[in-house]
Amino acid sequence: MVSAAYAYLGSSALADGLCLQTSGGPAAHPRFFTGFLTDTGAAAAGLLAVAEVARTRYFRPVSPASLDPVVTAGSDRLRFESFSGCCGVYARLDVLPAGLDGEILAHGTTNVDVNLPLRRALGRVGRADPLHLAVGPDDLTVTTFDGPLVERKVPLPSRWLRGFAEAQVLTSRFDPRAELGIAEARALLNGLPATDGSVLWAVPAGRSLRITSRPVPGAVCLPGAGRLVALRPLLRHATALRVYGPPVAAGSGPVASTWELGLPALRLSLTLSPEPHRGFSGEGAVLEALSSDEVLDDADLISALLSWDPTIDVDALAAAAGLDSARVRAALTALGTAGRVGFDVAEAGYFHRTLPYSADAVATMNPRLAGARALVEAGAVSVTGDVAAVRGVAATYQVRHVDGVLSCTCPWWAGHRGQRGPCKHALAVRLVRAGAEVTA
C-alpha cells in the first residue's frame, strides 16, 4: 500500500504579496482552528462514529484497521472524514457554524490518529460538558474534563485518496430522495439487520421508508444495511434522517447512496458503496472525466481559482475560467483525485480540502487510465465509424459506440457491464476519438 506524509504548514499564496509556505514558520504550534464545540454530546458522538467507521471492515471483518480521520478547516466549519477499512463506507461529520465557538485561524487539512484514550474520553462527554478542539497541520488536541489529549498526524493511505475522488463523482449525481422525522428514522434504523450483507431497496411510503428486495422508480439502494450501524448512537441527538441517491428504475443494478442524520449544528453522513464487497477506490467513476488531454490543464486553472468558501460555485468558476460547466466539473474531478475537492450532498455543492498529492498522480492512482494511454501510444487502437478494434495482449477486442456509450468484448466488460467504470480498451478509444496522439 502506498502512503504519504507531508510537512508543509499551508499553501503558498499570491495576494498583496508573495507568501511561500515552508515546513517551518513563525508559530511554534500553528493552528487552523481553536475553540469549543457547542453541542458537545452530539459532537462527541459524531467524532466517535467517524473514528469507528475508520476502524471497521464491514466486508470480511478482521481486527480493527489503523486508519484515522481526515480533518479539514474551511472558511466557517470543520469537516471530519474517514473510510472504512474495506473502503466501502465513507463517513463525514460536518460541524456547521452554529456548532463552533471559536475562530478558524487558517484553512487546511490534516489526518490524525484517534486512539483508545481519546475514544474513552469522548465517550464520557455529556451534553453540558465542555469540549475544546485545537486543529493544526501536525496534530489534533482534544480537551475534556479528563484533560488534553494530543493526536499526531499519521500517513494517509493512497486507497483513501482514490476513495475520496470516486465518492465525489458518485455523490455529485445524487438527488434528495426522502426525509424522515426522528421517530420514523429511529424505527427504521433500529429495525435493520445489523449484519445483513444483501442489497435492499428503500421505497418512500408515507412518512417513512418501506424496505423491499427489488428496485422501483424512486427507490434508494440500501446495500448492506448493517453498514448503517454507525448512525445509531447519534439518533438521540438528531432531528431528521435524509436519504440521497441517483435515479433508479425497475431492474436497476446496485448503486451507491448517502444516509445523513441532521442536527441543528452538525451533520453526520454515511455513503455506502453499491455492494458490501465493493470499495469506493475501485469504482472507476472518475475515469471518463479524466480521459481528455485538456483536463489536467483545466485542473491547474481551476485550482488557482479555488477558494475556501463553504461550497464551490461551478457556474462562477466557469465564468472566471472561461470554460463551460462540463469542463469545470471534469477539472474538479481531476482535483478530486488529488484530494483537493469533495462533494456535499446536503448543499449540492463541492467543497475545498488539501491533501498531499498533485493531479499528476492521476495515472498512478488509476491503472486503467494508464493502461489506456499505453494502448494509444502503442498504436493498438483502430477506429472505423462506431466500431473500434483494440489490440490487447491476449486478443483483439471490439469496442462499440452506441448512444454515447462504449461497450467492449473484453472480460472486464463482460463481468461488470460498465457498472464499475469503463475498461482500458474503451478508455483508449475515447482518447483516440478525443484526438490523442497515436504512435505508429
Give the three-class secondary structure for 41: helix
In 288-431, at which residue ranges do the beta strands (DSSP E only) sit? Answer: 341-344, 349-352, 381-384, 387-391, 396-402, 405-408
**Candidate ranges 19-28, 256-265, 415-424; pick with highest mean pLDDT:** 256-265
* pLDDT tens track for 71-122: 999 888 999 999 998 889 999 999 999 999 998 888 888 888 888 888 899 9
Span between the terminal Cα atoms of the chain, in Å: 36
Tell me how far apart the alpha carbons of residues 60 and 276 are, in angstroms, rounded to a whole number: 9
Predicted local confidence at residue 235, as pLDDT = 95
Predicted local confidence at residue 7, as pLDDT = 45
Instruction: Name residue 70's beta-bridge partners.
Output: 81, 111
**Candidate ranges 152-156, 262-266, 384-388; pick with highest mean pLDDT:** 262-266
Residue 44 amino acid letter: A
Predicted local confidence at residue 234, as pLDDT = 94
Q: Are 117 and 87 in contact, with CB atoms under 8 Å apart?
A: no
Quick check: 362 pLDDT over 60?
Answer: no
| Sequence-distant (≥ 6) Cβ neighbours of residue 149 within 8 angstroms | 117, 118, 121, 141, 142, 143
Q: Confidence class of residue 29 from pLDDT cuts 50, 70 and 90?
A: low
Predicted local confidence at residue 367, as pLDDT = 78
| Sequence-distant (≥ 6) Cβ neighbours of residue 394 within 8 angstroms | none
Other CB atoms within a 10 A radius of the CB of residue 359 amount to 21
Q: Confidence class of residue 292 from pLDDT cuts 50, 70 and 90?
A: low
The more confident residue out of 299 and 51 is 51
Domains for the chain: give ranges and CATH numbers: 1-277 (3.70.10.10), 287-362 (1.10.10.10), 367-433 (no CATH)
The more confident residue out of 303 and 226 is 226
Quick check: 363 pLDDT over 70?
Answer: no
Q: Are 135 and 78 in contact, with CB atoms under 8 Å apart?
A: yes
Task: Report the mean per-residue pLDDT for the chain.
Answer: 83
The predicted model gives 287-298 an average pLDDT of 69
The DSSP element (H or E) to which 134 belongs, if any, is strand 132-135
Say which range, 20-29, 112-121, 157-166, 224-233, has the weakest mean pLDDT.
Answer: 20-29
Say which range, 28-42, 126-140, 164-178, 412-426, has the weakest mean pLDDT.
Answer: 412-426
Quick check: 25 pLDDT over 60?
Answer: no
Predicted local confidence at residue 26, as pLDDT = 47
CA angle 94, 119, 152 (to 5 degrees): 75
